[in-house]
């Protein structure tokens, strides 16, 4: 099942003691809210049905996503931050802005309600950008991404997955920036992998998106267990080809989660 990947967004201020929320959503699969650690005005994420037709195009903190469906090829550059190579849009391009966040803080991503058939893991990676930022940085196929969070199958017999909470409208997925991380500019690769047709390859469906952060703090850690996209996953990985309708332990693909 191919899912339409349209985006819309808005910003809103809450009480002074709370964080400003940036909202981005997909009509059927979708990320929605980036809650920055400091109260500052942040434009919405990329909007597929609006941004390509605006002149000038609005500045965003998220990289563009093209196409109506998932990414099904583990060797495609589209796996990195989205894209639609089949439609002539190869990979994604840098965004103009960065959202501010502090190491150790929690980032909230609100998704629109997710199809209950599309079970699978939720995974978040970071990649350190050059000292001047992520605005002109494209990683090609370099090994630069380290995993900071993953949620797979709750148990070998469970129907609950990392993506299950997304099936409740208004749910906010959270990831935590490692507190020990060296400050700087970072590219966030956040994704869900839908396994409803992944009992054979091809069949798996990847839904990645990237946004850009400026992380502050006093940490010094520079992770070294790095992967590339494409390159981080293989077609025969147990986390890529898996029958989600049968009992069995599920292993999330990619490297181990970085910890301080």
Residue pLDDT, tens place only, 96-111? 999 999 999 998 887 7
pLDDT tens for residues 140-194? Answer: 889 999 999 999 999 999 999 999 999 998 888 899 999 999 999 999 999 999 9
* pLDDT computed for residue 207 by the predictor: 94
The answer to whether residues 235 and 74 touch, using CB atoms and an 8 Å cutoff, is: yes
CA distances to 130, 136, 187, 223 from 219, rounded to whole Å, are 17, 25, 17, 12
Which has more confidence, 157 or 6? 157
Distance CA 101, CA 79 (A): 25
| CA angle (126 as vertex; 238, 224 as ends), nearest 5 | 80
Distance CA 93, CA 138 (A): 7
In 3D, which of 186, 226, 232, 231 has the Cα closest to residue 210? Answer: 186
Span of 35-39, 61-65, 187-191, 247-251 with lowest mean pLDDT: 35-39
116 sits in the region (left: phi over 0; alpha: psi -120 to 50; else beta) called alpha
Indicate the pLDDT class of residue 113, thresholds 50, 70 and 90: confident
The CATH fold of domain 7-216? Coagulation Factor XIII; Chain A, domain 1 (2.70.50)
- Range among 42-46, 110-114, 211-215 with highest mean pLDDT value: 211-215
In the predicted model, what is the mean pLDDT of residues 53-81?
Answer: 90
Indicate the pLDDT class of residue 139, thresholds 50, 70 and 90: confident
Distance CA 243, CA 54 (A): 43
């Amino acid at each position: 099942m191919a899912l339409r990947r349209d985006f819309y967004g808005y910003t809103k201020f809450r009480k002074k003691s709370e964080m400003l929320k940036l909202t981005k959503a997909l009509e059927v699969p979708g990320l929605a809210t980036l809650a920055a650690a400091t109260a500052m005005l942040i434009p919405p994420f990329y909007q597929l049905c609006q941004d390509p037709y605006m002149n000038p195009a609005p500045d965003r903190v998220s990289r563009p996503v093209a196409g109506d469906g998932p990414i099904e090829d583990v060797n495609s550059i589209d796996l990195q931050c989205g894209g639609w190579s089949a439609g002539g849009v190869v990979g994604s391009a840098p965004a103009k802005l960065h959202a501010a966040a502090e190491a150790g803080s929690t980032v909230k991503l609100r998704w629109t309600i997710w199809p209950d058939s599309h079970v699978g893991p939720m995974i978040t990676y970071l990649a350190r950008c050059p000292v001047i930022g992520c605005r002109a940085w494209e990683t090609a196929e370099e090994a630069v991404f380290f995993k900071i969070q993953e949620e797979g199958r709750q148990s070998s017999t469970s129907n609950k997955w990392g993506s299950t909470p997304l099936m409740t409208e208004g749910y906010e997925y959270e990831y935590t920036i490692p507190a020990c991380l060296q400050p700087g500019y970072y590219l966030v690769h956040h994704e869900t992998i839908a396994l409803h047709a992944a009992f054979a390859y091809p069949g798996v469906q990847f839904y990645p998106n990237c946004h850009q952060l400026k992380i502050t703090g006093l940490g010094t850690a520079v992770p070294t267990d790095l992967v590339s996209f494409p390159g981080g996953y293989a077609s025969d990985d147990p986390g890529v080809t898996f029958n989600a309708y049968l009992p069995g332990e599920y292993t999330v693909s990619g490297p181990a989660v970085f910890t301080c």
